Structure 1
Amino acid sequence: MKAHFGRKIPNLEALKAATRQAKQEKHSGSAYTVVREIEFSDEEFKNFAEDLLEDQPWIGGTDGGMNQAGEIRCIRVRNAQTGERILVNSEGYDYPRYTAIEE
Structure 2
Amino acid sequence: MRRKEASCVPGVFEVTKVIILSREDFEKLSEDVSPEYPFLKDNREHMSADPGGLFRCLMARAEGEKECLLIAQDGDALYLGYGKDCRKVDLRSVPKEYIILEEPKAYQEHAVFYHRPRSVDDINGQNPMRPAPEQETSFQVEQETVLTDEQYRSFLKNGFMNDQPFLFGSRDKMWFDPGKLCWHCVLVRGENSKDGVLIETEGYNYARYAAFIPDCEKLRLRDVPIHYEYPAKAPQKQKRRYWENVR
TM-score (norm 2): 0.37
Counterpart CA distance in 2 for 1:35 and 1:101 is 16
Letter in 1 for 2:117: I
Q: Is 1:83 matched up with 2:190?
A: no
Give the structure, 1 or 2, with the largest relative contact order (CA under 8 Å, sep 6 or more): 1
State how far apart, in whole Å, the 1-side matches of 2:114 and 2:173 are.
17
The runs of 5 or more residues in structure 1 that have no matched partner are none
Quick one: distance in 2 between partners of 1:56 and 1:63? 15
C-alpha distance in 2 between matches for 1:96 and 1:21 = 18
Shift of 1:82: 2.5
CA distance in 2, matches of 1:91, 1:10: 16
Q: 1:50-82 CA distances to partner (integer Å, 9 max, x unpaired)? A: 221111112243232224633101000112222
Task: Report the counterpart of residue 174 of structure 2 in structure 1.
Answer: 64
**What is the alpha-carbon distance in structure 2 between the residues aligned to residue 12 and residue 43 of structure 1?**
15
Q: Does residue 30 in structure 1 map to residue 132 in structure 2?
A: no
* Alpha-carbon separation, structure 2, partners of 1:40 and 1:62: 19
* Partner Cα separation in structure 1 for residue 135 and residue 181 of structure 2: 15
The answer for the alignment partner of 2:151 in structure 1 is: 44
Q: How far off is 1:99 after superposition?
A: 0.5
- Which residue of the partner structure matches residue 95 of structure 1? 206
Query: Deviation of residue 33 (structure 1)?
Result: 0.4
Larger-Rg structure: 2
Residue 180 of structure 2: SS of its match in structure 1?
coil
Q: CA deviation at 1:14?
A: 2.0
Work out whether 1:13 is the aligned partner of 2:121.
Answer: yes
Q: Distance in 2 between matches of 1:74 and 1:50?
A: 20
Deviates more, 1:65-74 or 1:36-45: 65-74
Q: Normalised by the size of structure 1, how large is the TM-score?
A: 0.83
Looking at structure 1, the residues matched to 143 and 173 of structure 2 have their Cα atoms a distance apart, in angstroms, of 9
Question: In the alignment, is the contact (CA less than 8 A) between 1:63 and 1:91 conserved in 2?
Answer: no
RMSD after superposition = 2.2
* 1:11 maps to amino acid: S
CA contact (8 A) 1:86 1:99 kept: yes
Tell whether the 8 Å contact from 1:5 to 1:30 is kept in structure 2 after alignment.
yes
For structure 2, list consecutive stretches of 5 or more residues without a partner in the other structure: 1-108, 215-247
Give, as a single letter, the amino acid of the residue that structure 1 aligns with 2:175: G
